[in-house]
C-alpha cells in the first residue's frame, strides 16, 4: 500500500514538473489582492445583475426591492471602490443635482447626474418617469460593467490603512447623516453593510497581524458598530457613536499600522496618525495648499504674515489692513452686514478658512495666496496691485530683512502672499466646548446641546452640506471638493413677499445659467460670533437662520429656484428641536 502511494506521489510530481516545463509558468499562490478582487468582483457582478433585472420589471414594489439589493451590493464594495477609483465612486454615488464643471470661459461642461441617488429619487417620485428611470439604470449599469471589465487591485499596506481610515471617517461624516440616501433614509443600514466589508477585509488580512489581540479588537469594534447602528434614523445617538466607535477605531488603526510596520510615502487629507475625528492634528493642513514645500522656518513666516495681516500699509490709502475687516474677537469677521456698505457681500470668517479647495463666496480663487490677490485688486478693499504692495513692504527695512532671511529674496510678490496665507493657516484651534467634550477632556455638554448635535448630523440634515469635523462644504474623507449650493437666500428678511437676493454668486464667474445664486458652503464653527448671516447678511440671529432652513429654504418662503440644492421640502422641526440646534452651534465657539 505504501509503495503504491509512493509511486502515485512520484507520478503526480512528474506530471506537475512536466506541466511546468511545457507551460514555462511557475505555480502561483493566491495573494491577498486576489482574494480582495474576488470579493469585490462578486459583489459588483451581483449589483449589475440586480440593476439589469429592474429594466424588465413592471411592478413598482419589485423594482424597489431590486434597487435596494443593487444598492446594498454597491455599498458592500464602497470601501474598495472609493480607494481604487475615487472618480467613478463619486459619480455613481453623486446626488441628483446637475453637474457643472467650469474650467474657464471656453470650457464649461454641464452633465446630467446618474447613479444610485438618481435612480432612488426617480423610483420614489410623485409620478415615475419610466424613460428617465431606465436611462439612469442603463448609465449606472454600463459604468459598473466598465469597472468590472477594468478591475485591477494592487493594494500595498499603506493603501489598505488609507482604505480603512477613509471608510471609518466616511461613515461618521456622511454615512450616518443621510448624505447619500435622501429618499429611502436607510443610511444606518447601509453603514452596517460597509462595516461588514471592513470585517471581511480584516479577516482576509489576518496573516498581516503579529498581534492577535489587536486583530480581534478591530473586528470586535466593527461588529459592535454594526449592532449599535441597528437603530432608527432620527433618534440615533451620533455623538456617542463617534466617541465610542469612530475615535476608538482610529486609535486601533494607528496601532495596526505600527503592528504591520507600515511606511507611508506621504500624507493625504487625513493625518496618518489621526486618533480622533475632532482634533487639531486630524487633518493635514498642507493638503489644502498648493505650496506644500514652503515649510522651512514656517513659524517665523507665520509671525511675519501676522505682522502684514495687521499692517494698513498694504492698502492704497494706508487706512485698511486685513484685520480691518477680519477682527479676531469676532472670529475674524467684522460684525457688519457688508463692510461700510461698499462691499456687496458679508465678510466671511477666516477661522478654518484654510480647509477649503476654493476661496471667496463664489469660489473664484483656488488658494489663500490667490485670494490675497483678489483683495489687493478690489477697488473697495486694498485697491493696490500686488507688485505695488510688494514694493512698499520691501522699502520697510524690518520687513526686507525678514524676507531676505526667510525666503532668500526670490519670488518676492509670492512671498508676501505666502507669509499672510501661512498666518491664516494657523487660525484653526479645534478647542471649542464641543471638541473638548467629544474628545473626553470635559463633561460639560448639556443634553440639549448633545441633542442639537444629533439633530444637526441626522434629522435636520445640516451635516449633508456642513460636513463634520470642519462643518463646512469640503467633502470628507478625500477633501478634494468644496461644495457650492443654491438655497434661495432672500434679499430681505421676509417670509410673505420674499424675493431672492440680487447677487448672482457663482454665475458672475462664467455666466453659466445653471449656477445663478450659487454660493460656497461656509463653516459653522464660531458661528455664534459671526453674525449677521448669509452672503448678504440678511439674518441677524441663528434662530432666524434655523427658521429659514426649517421652512425649506427659499422655496419654503415662495422663492422659485429651479436648481435649489437643499435635500428636503421642509424639516418639520419642533421649536424645541430648533432651540437645540442653536444651542449645539454655540458650542462650536473656539476657546481662544
Q: Which residues contact 155 (CB under 8 A, 6 or more apart)?
A: 32, 33, 36, 83, 84, 163
Please report the pLDDT score of residue 2 as a whole number.
Answer: 40
Give the integer Cα–Cα distance in Å for 509 and 372.
Answer: 18
The structure's pTM equals: 0.92
Query: Do 410 and 569 contact (CB within 8 A), yes or no?
Result: no
* Unique residue bearing C-alpha cell 471589465: 149
| Structural contact between residues 321 and 315, judged by C-beta atoms closer than 8 angstroms | yes
Q: Mean pLDDT across the stretch 418-434?
A: 97
* Grid cell digits, residue 367: 488658494
pLDDT above 70: residue 13? no
Determine the longest span between alpha carbons in the chain, in angstroms.
105
The pLDDT of residue 56: 66
Does residue 331 sit in helix, strand or coil? Answer: coil
Give every CB contact of residue 63 below 8 A, 6+ residues apart in sequence.
Answer: 54, 57, 123
pLDDT of 126 reads 65
SS (H, E, C) 60-126: HHHHHHHHHHHHHHHHHHHHHHHHHCHHHHHHHCCCCCCEEEEEECCEEEEECCCCHHHHHHHHCCC
Query: Which one-letter DSSP state was computed for residue 529?
Result: G
In the predicted model, is pLDDT for residue 9 greater than 60?
Answer: no
The residues pairing with 100 across neighbouring beta strands, listed in sequence order, are 110
- Helix/strand/coil for 414: helix
| pLDDT per residue as tens digits for the range 249-278 | 999 999 999 999 999 999 999 999 999 999
Does position 11 have pLDDT exceeding 50, yes or no?
Answer: no
The bridge status of strand 519-520 relative to strand 484-485 is antiparallel
Query: Is pLDDT above 80 for 414?
Result: yes
CB distance 253 to 223 below 8 Å: no
Q: How many CA atoms lie within 13 A of 80 on its CB side?
A: 31
Judge whether residue 400 has pLDDT over 50: yes
Render pLDDT for 229-249 as a digit per residue (tens, 0 to 9).
999 999 999 999 999 999 999
Q: How far apart are alpha carbons 117 and 453 in whole angstroms?
A: 25
Q: What is the pLDDT of residues 311-359, one digit of tens each?
A: 999 999 999 999 999 999 999 999 999 887 678 899 999 999 999 999 9
pLDDT at res. 337: 92
57 backbone φψ class: left, alpha, beta (φ>0; ψ -120 to 50): beta
Triad 279, 470, 573: Cα angle to 5°: 120
Q: Say yes or no to pLDDT of 26 above 60.
A: no
Closest residue by Cα to residue 471 from 424, 517, 532, 530: 530
Q: Which residues of 533-553 are buried (b: 16+ CB within 10 A; e: fewer)?
A: bbbbbbbeebeebbbbbbbbb
For residue 526, pLDDT beyond 80: yes
The span from the CA of 439 to the CA of 429, in Å, is 14
Lowest-pLDDT range of 120-129, 304-313, 520-529: 120-129
- Assign 38 to helix, strand or coil: helix
Q: Is 569 helix (H, G, I), strand (E, B) or coil?
A: coil
pLDDT beyond 80 at 127:
no
Query: 444 with 572: CB under 8 angstroms?
Result: no
> What torsion, rounded to 10 degrees, do the Cα atoms 320, 323, 325, 328 define?
-160
Residue 356 exposure: Cα atoms within 13 Å on the Cβ side: 33
Looking at residue 107, its pLDDT comes to 79
Q: How many CB atoms lie within 10 A of CB 585?
A: 25
Helix (H) or strand (E) holding 53: helix 32-55
Helix, strand and coil percent figures for the chain, each rounded to 5: 55, 5, 40
Q: How far is CA 197 from CA 147, 201, 219, 344, in A?
A: 19, 6, 11, 49
CA dihedral 153, 158, 159, 160 (to 10 degrees): 80
User: What is the rounded CA–CA span in Å between residue 570 and residue 567?
Assistant: 9
d(CA 418, CA 371): 11
Q: What ranges in 150-246 are assigned the alpha helix state H?
A: 157-173, 187-204, 212-228, 238-241
Angstrom distance (rounded) from CA 554 to CA 128: 26
C-alpha distances in Å from residue 252, one per residue of 27, 156, 226, 485: 37, 19, 17, 36
What's the mean pLDDT in 557-575?
92
Is pLDDT at 466 greater than 70 in this prediction? yes
* Burial label, 526 (beta-carbon count in 10 A; 0-12, 13-18, 19+): buried
Q: Give the tens place of pLDDT for each residue, 33-65.
A: 999 999 999 999 999 999 999 976 567 888 899
Q: Which residue has the higher pLDDT, 279 or 55?
A: 279
Q: What is the rounded distance in angstroms from the CA atom of residue 540 to the CA atom of residue 551?
A: 17
Whether 22 shows a pLDDT value over 60: the answer reads: no
Provide the grid cell at 71: 444598492
Nearest CA among 467, 472, 505 for reference residue 486: 505
Amino acid at each position: 500500500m505504501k509503495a503504491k502511494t509512493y509511486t502515485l506521489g512520484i507520478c503526480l510530481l512528474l506530471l506537475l514538473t512536466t506541466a511546468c516545463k511545457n507551460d514555462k509558468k511557475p505555480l502561483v499562490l493566491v495573494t491577498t489582492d486576489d482574494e480582495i478582487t474576488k470579493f469585490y468582483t462578486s459583489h459588483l457582478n451581483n449589483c449589475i445583475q440586480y440593476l439589469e433585472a429592474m429594466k424588465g420589471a413592471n411592478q413598482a414594489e419589485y423594482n424597489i426591492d431590486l434597487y435596494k439589493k443593487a444598492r446594498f451590493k454597491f455599498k458592500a464594495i464602497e470601501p474598495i471602490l472609493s480607494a481604487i477609483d475615487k472618480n467613478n465612486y463619486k459619480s455613481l454615488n453623486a446626488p441628483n443635482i446637475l453637474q457643472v464643471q467650469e474650467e474657464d470661459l471656453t470650457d464649461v461642461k454641464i452633465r446630467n447626474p446618474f447613479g444610485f441617488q438618481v435612480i432612488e429619487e426617480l423610483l420614489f417620485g410623485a409620478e415615475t418617469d419610466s424613460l428617465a428611470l431606465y436611462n439612469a439604470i442603463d448609465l449606472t449599469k454600463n459604468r459598473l460593467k466598465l469597472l468590472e471589465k477594468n478591475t485591477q487591485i494592487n493594494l500595498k499596506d499603506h493603501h489598505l490603512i488609507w482604505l480603512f481610515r477613509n471608510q471609518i471617517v466616511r461613515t461618521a461624516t456622511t454615512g450616518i447623516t443621510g448624505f447619500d440616501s435622501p429618499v429611502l433614509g436607510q443610511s444606518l443600514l447601509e453603514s452596517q453593510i460597509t462595516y461588514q466589508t471592513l470585517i471581511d477585509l480584516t479577516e482576509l488580512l489576518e496573516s498581516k497581524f503579529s498581534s492577535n489581540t489587536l486583530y480581534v479588537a478591530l473586528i470586535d469594534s466593527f461588529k459592535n458598530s454594526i449592532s449599535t447602528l441597528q437603530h432608527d434614523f432620527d433618534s440615533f445617538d451620533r455623538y456617542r457613536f463617534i466617541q465610542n466607535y469612530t475615535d476608538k477605531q482610529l486609535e486601533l488603526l494607528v496601532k495596526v499600522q505600527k503592528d504591520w510596520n507600515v511606511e507611508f510615502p506621504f500624507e493625504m487629507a487625513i493625518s496618518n496618525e489621526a486618533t480622533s475625528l475632532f482634533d487639531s492634528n486630524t487633518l493635514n493642513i498642507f493638503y489644502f495648499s498648493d505650496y506644500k514645500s514652503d515649510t522651512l522656518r514656517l513659524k517665523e513666516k507665520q509671525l511675519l504674515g501676522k505682522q502684514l495681516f495687521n499692517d494698513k500699509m498694504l492698502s492704497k490709502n494706508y487706512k485698511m489692513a486685513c484685520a480691518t475687516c477680519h477682527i479676531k474677537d469676532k472670529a475674524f469677521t467684522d460684525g457688519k452686514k457688508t463692510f461700510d456698505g461698499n462691499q456687496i457681500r458679508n465678510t466671511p470668517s477666516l477661522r478654518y478658512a484654510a480647509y477649503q479647495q476654493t476661496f471667496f463666496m463664489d469660489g473664484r480663487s483656488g488658494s489663500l495666496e490667490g485670494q490675497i490677490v483678489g483683495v489687493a485688486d478690489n477697488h473697495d478693499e486694498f485697491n493696490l496691485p500686488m507688485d505695488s504692495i510688494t514694493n512698499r513692504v520691501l522699502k520697510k527695512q524690518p520687513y526686507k530683512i525678514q524676507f531676505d532671511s526667510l525666503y532668500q529674496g526670490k519670488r518676492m510678490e509670492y512671498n508676501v502672499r505666502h507669509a499672510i496665507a501661512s498666518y491664516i493657516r494657523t487660525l484653526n484651534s479645534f478647542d471649542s466646548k464641543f471638541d473638548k467634550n467629544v474628545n473626553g477632556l470635559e463633561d460639560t455638554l448639556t443634553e440639549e446641546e448633545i441633542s442639537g448635535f444629533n439633530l444637526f448630523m441626522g434629522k435636520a440634515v445640516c451635516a449633508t452640506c456642513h460636513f463634520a469635523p470642519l462643518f463646512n462644504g469640503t467633502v470628507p474623507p478625500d477633501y478634494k471638493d468644496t461644495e457650492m449650493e443654491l438655497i434661495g437666500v432672500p434679499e430681505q428678511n421676509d417670509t410673505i413677499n420674499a424675493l431672492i437676493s440680487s447677487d448672482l454668486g457663482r454665475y458672475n464667474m462664467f455666466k453659466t445659467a445653471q449656477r445663478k445664486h450659487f454660493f460656497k458652503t461656509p463653516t459653522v464653527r464660531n458661528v455664534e460670533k459671526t453674525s449677521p448671516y448669509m452672503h448678504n447678511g440678511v439674518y441677524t440671529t441663528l434662530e432666524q437662520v434655523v427658521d429659514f432652513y426649517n421652512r425649506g429654504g427659499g422655496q419654503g418662503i415662495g422663492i422659485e429656484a429651479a436648481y435649489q440644492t437643499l435635500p428636503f421640502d421642509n424639516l418639520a422641526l419642533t421649536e424645541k428641536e430648533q432651540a437645540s440646534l442653536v444651542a449645539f452651534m454655540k458650542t462650536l465657539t473656539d476657546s481662544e
